[in-house]
Structure 1
Amino acid sequence: MGKYTGPQFFWDQFSYHPPVVRADLTGQTVIVLGANVGLGYEAAKHFATMGARVIMACRSKERGSAAVDRLQEETGVRNAELRIVDLADFASVKSFAAVIEAECDRVDFLILNAGVLSSSDPVKTVDGWESTIQVNVLASSMLALLLLPTMLETARRYHVMPRVVVVSSSVHYWLDPWDKKTLERAELLKALSETKDFTPMRRYYESKLFNVFFTRALNERLRPTHPTIVVNSVNPGLAESSLRRDMDESALPWSMRLMHFFLTVSSEVGSRELVWAALGGRERAEALRGAYIDRCEVREPSDFALSEEGRIMQDRVWREIVEVTSEAEPRVKEIVTKYLLDL
């Protein structure tokens, strides 16, 4: 299924609420980005009640501490911990990865959930990137690469199959093609970050496609040498979240506001998709490698992602992610060279 139609979206929202996958995660470590609210918080709750050590990675110490306290109060468990990371700052991502490596002897699941949807005007990070590109694409990918050695060692030492779950979205199906001038730019992410022709929703769509690209590209370079790591992307559906916190809701079309009002599911329901992507399908884990997961099953991503042109762009985006993040942290290049194939 390389296409995703409006009627199918409506049907998925109305007809299907995924089950909660349960497993005994005692002794295992789960890292959830953006864990203080919405999908991340609810996913962290699920993992915590399964006995895992849950690292709740949040940008704000105040809001993150409140989330840990709330989780403990609601579940009665005491196995959730707060760690601070700001994806809008590469130095913060680097520091967070160093803390995890020092404090965790294993990382079994990495849930790359944090994301932003900008307001009407582009926002630049301290590193000079448009915030959606950095937070949703570059920084989350950087963290996955920096923690890759720890996850590989976890697989080797404990004989388990760690998973990296990249939270994408079905909106990647609906992205209109780029213009020829943009496509011809040598550095696509940089070109998009610098463009003055900025539309928040389109940029979000782009970032979700790039999430699919990163997932597929990492899997292709990892699988032949390290088959114990599963990397996939997942669509949680239209769920309640703080994603639109910076947007002027009155600026949204009435059709979109009505859609959100009538079709949005709860954060808890949406989080079940994240949990399934991390724990589900163990009997056929091979099919989950590099997969796009939707409604607790593997679905084909967009036609563009599957096309020859999309494959070329996927490799371009991969190379640019590695180059940009390696400039911020040279260890990224060392890890890619040591652990991944050069395709």
Structure 2
Amino acid sequence: MSLTLIITLIILGFIVSSAVFFMLYLIFTKIYLKFRIVGTCPANLCLVGRTVIVTGANKGMGYWVAMDFAKRGAKVILACRNKTKGKEAVEKIQSETENKNVVFQSLNLASFKSIRAFVQEVKKNERRLDVLVNNAGVVRPNAVTEDGFHPTLQVNALGPFLLTILLIDLLKSTKHSRIVNVTTKEGSEHFDILEDLVDKSDSWFAYVRNYENSKKCLGLLMTSLSDKLQRHEVTVQFAVPRPCRTDLQIYENLPEFLKFFKRHIFITFLCLEANESAVNTVFTALDHQVGNFMCKYYRDCEQWDPGHQDTEVDTYLRKKIWWKCVEYVQLKPNEFSGLS
């Protein structure tokens, strides 16, 4: 047997064994995720008499979060931009849960005017707010909203910030209320001003970077908010879900060969279904032990370390971004005076 043939066989053997190992890894990862996540949420907590708001609840993970709350008897407000899909989601949830106290209310996080109208309607109709889930998230190409901001930044950070601040009085008046922010641990470690958060190129990397940085911005804002709520019975928490099958277009601008990997490998083996990934968000919103802590991250239904420390840089950024965002969303002094 020639040396060339031996080398060829060794290379082929290595390739085949690597492919087999990779497939086994994917299969066992899928099995691990299925058994690690499903069924770990507190299943017996009744929410009758409580009110929750879930943004982006007409589809994907937000829909299943709202479904879970409705099954527990809560009044659930589906805060969505699309009226048709929002009302369809309400009908499905009502039919599945026999809970008629599930309602749609129009909310477009890409419009500060829409957010203020939403809050005004909520305050007119509701006397309490037990849980606010900032679930909605988007990835958008380079564009500008009616308020003059990149839509990814406004929907994922500025909009939820304004919404939460305007609902603070209602949350503060409800004992043991909770703000849950669906987020990611990623994002630039260092940026100086908000403009640095937006990459205006059309590359797939810009889509990913803008999404992650908008979530980083939201994290800094909500961490600052939690500091200001120390004297009140409102806790701020972060839910970091496993990747799941949704229509979030974060990787749609990928090269074709990476799109193939995403569709046939990543989604098939490394993603949960939306209803499975929603369990962690529900856990973060309802678990009694979570309420004993402030501003923690939760993944797989347990407290999770995102891997970064609260440094002097983060403290500086939080302070700077807080006041910059107060200016951007045009908050009036009386609208956040109760936080001081």
TM-score of the alignment, normalized to the shorter chain, above 0.5: yes
Quick one: distance in 2 between partners of 1:309 and 1:243?
31
2:292 is aligned to 286
Q: Which runs of no fewer than 5 residues in structure 1 stay unpaired? A: 1-6, 156-160
1:3 is aligned to none
How many residues were matched structurally? 306
Quick one: distance in 1 between partners of 2:322 and 2:35?
36
Which of 212, 220, 224 lines up with 1:205 in the alignment? 212
- What's the C-alpha RMSD, in Å, of the aligned pairs? 2.4
SS in 1 for 2:157: helix
Q: Could you report, residue by residue, the CA deviation over 1:10-51 in whole angstroms, capped at 9, with x for unpaired residues?
A: 697466214232311111101010010011100000000101
Report if aligned partners of 1:109, 1:278 keep a CA contact under 8 Å in 2: yes
1:340 is aligned to 339
1:110 is aligned to 132
Larger Rg: 2
Report if aligned partners of 2:208, 2:251 keep a CA contact under 8 Å in 1: no
- Distance apart, 1:311 and its partner CA: 2.5
Aligned counterparts, 1:1-343, within 5 A:
13=33, 16-18=36-38, 19-22=40-43, 23-118=45-140, 121-155=141-175, 161-170=176-185, 172=186, 175-178=187-190, 183-184=191-192, 188-193=193-198, 195-196=200-201, 199-223=206-230, 225-226=231-232, 228-244=233-249, 247-248=252-253, 251=256, 253=258, 254-257=260-263, 258-280=265-287, 282-283=288-289, 285-287=291-293, 289-303=294-308, 306-325=310-329, 327=330, 329-330=331-332, 333-337=333-337, 339-341=338-340
Q: Could you report, residue by residue, the CA deviation over 1:112-156 in whole angstroms, capped at 9, with x for unpaired residues?
A: 0011012xx31221111001100000001110000000111122x
Q: Give the AA of the match of 2:312.
A: E
Q: Could you report, residue by residue, the CA deviation over 1:147-189 in whole angstroms, capped at 9, with x for unpaired residues?
A: 000111122xxxxx0000011024x1xx4545xxxx44xxx22
Closer, same or farther in 2 for the Cα pair 1:117/1:252, shift >3 Å?
farther
- Distance apart, 1:300 and its partner CA: 2.5
TM-score normalised according to structure 2 size: 0.83
SS in 1 for 2:105: strand
- Identity among equivalent pairs (%): 28
Closer, same or farther in 2 for the Cα pair 1:252/1:63, shift >3 Å?
farther
Quick one: distance in 2 between partners of 1:336 and 1:195?
32
Which structure is higher in RCO with an 8 Å CA cutoff and minimum separation 6? 1
- Distance apart, 1:64 and its partner CA: 0.6
Q: Which runs of no fewer than 5 residues in structure 2 stay unpaired? A: 1-25
Q: Could you report, residue by residue, the CA deviation over 1:176-227 in whole angstroms, capped at 9, with x for unpaired residues?
A: 545xxxx44xxx223434855870001111122223222211111111x21x
